[in-house]
């Protein structure tokens, strides 16, 4: 080291490493509870019943597997869309009301986290069944009954209700930082309320939409309880096939191959969507 180069004191170097030392226990925990099981699944998918790619060849050679994989992504996309449509006005309302009403709305968002997912799904079974509350109301109004249970529509409704808080919270965290005076300034310059919203408020809130959509979409891909209780043969998702292969048929290799395919496909889709999300985020920042 030359005399002209500055030297970093040892105490400063230790302070620089302090954040990494604080994060080390969390990293070790993540490797223990996520990394090791994931590595085990990948190894078993290529080693059972023997080493090779026969489990992946089996997955892509059976048409029903590809159909269920496509259906899993379609249902997850529909759930994400429903959550965006329902969560956006709710999150906006949370930013527009007073502190007491906002606390009440936030409590309504958090209550589902305190209730078991099985209980919530069973309550939807009661509501959506052919003789349930929804169909009874429709018949009393003079409409015919609608088949909701054991359908893809029922699965989407149940999953959207469970995942809605994961969309509302990221949206609210972004919306509460938006200065509403920008919208008022646009309106004072002659813009209609709808135009001021579309050109000023909506672009600023898109980062929250993207963050919530990614969370909901990824969580929806691995749902098992809700599709199993509300769905039927035509709404089976890949998680159900994985459960059948692993627990019913004891085919750990094939079940692991299904999980790996779902994981890799998810990463590929997120990698393709990441540039679009970054560009939209930069546009929102410039706006």
Per-residue pLDDT of 76-121, as tens digits, reads 999 999 999 999 999 999 988 888 999 999 998 888 888 877 788 8
Burial letters for 180-215: b for 16+ Cβ neighbours within 10 Å, e otherwise?
Answer: eeebeebeeeebeeeebbeebbebbbbbbbbbbbbb
pLDDT at residue number 75: 92
Mean pLDDT of 253-280: 81
The torsion region of residue 97 among left (phi > 0), alpha (psi -120 to 50) and beta comes to beta
Note the pLDDT of residue 164: 92
pLDDT at 282: 62
> For position 149, what pLDDT does the model report?
84
Whether residue 161 is predicted with pLDDT greater than 80 in this model: the reply is yes
Q: How many helices (H) and strands (E) does the chain have?
A: 14, 0
Cβ atoms of 119 and 38 within 8 Å: the answer is no
pLDDT at 10 over 70: no
Q: Specify the pLDDT at position 285.
A: 55
Quote the pLDDT of residue 48. Answer: 83
Q: Cβ of 251: how many Cβ atoms within 10 Å?
A: 19
Exposed/middle/buried for residue 54 (C-beta within 10 Å: 0-12, 13-18, 19+):
middle
């Amino acid at each position: 080291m030359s005399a002209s180069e500055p030297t970093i004191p040892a105490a400063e170097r230790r302070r620089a490493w302090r954040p990494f030392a604080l994060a080390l226990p969390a990293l070790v925990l993540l490797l223990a509870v996520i990394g090791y099981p994931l590595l085990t699944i990948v190894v078993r998918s290529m080693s059972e019943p023997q080493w090779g790619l026969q489990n992946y060849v089996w997955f892509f050679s059976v048409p029903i597997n590809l159909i269920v994989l496509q259906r899993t992504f379609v249902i997850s996309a529909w759930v994400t869309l429903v959550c965006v449509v329902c969560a956006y006005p709710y999150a906006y309302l949370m930013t527009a009301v007073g502190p007491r009403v906002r606390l009440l709305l936030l409590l309504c968002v958090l209550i589902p986290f305190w209730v078991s997912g099985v209980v919530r799904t069973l309550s939807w079974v009661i509501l959506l069944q052919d003789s349930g509350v929804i169909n009874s109301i429709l018949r009393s109004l003079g409409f015919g009954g609608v088949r909701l249970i054991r359908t893809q529509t029922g699965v989407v409704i149940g999953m959207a209700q469970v995942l809605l808080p994961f969309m509302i919270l990221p949206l609210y965290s972004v919306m509460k930082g938006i200065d509403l005076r920008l919208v008022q300034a646009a309106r004072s310059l002659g813009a209609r309320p709808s135009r001021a919203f579309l050109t000023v408020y909506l672009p600023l809130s898109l980062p929250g939409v993207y963050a919530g959509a990614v969370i909901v979409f990824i969580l929806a891909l691995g749902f098992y309880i809700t599709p199993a209780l509300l769905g039927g043969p035509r709404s089976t998702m890949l998680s159900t096939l994985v459960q059948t292969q692993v627990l019913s048929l004891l085919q750990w290799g094939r079940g692991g191959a299904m999980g790996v395919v779902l994981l890799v496909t998810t990463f590929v889709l997120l990698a393709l969507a990441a540039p679009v999300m970054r560009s939209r985020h930069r546009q929102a920042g410039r706006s």
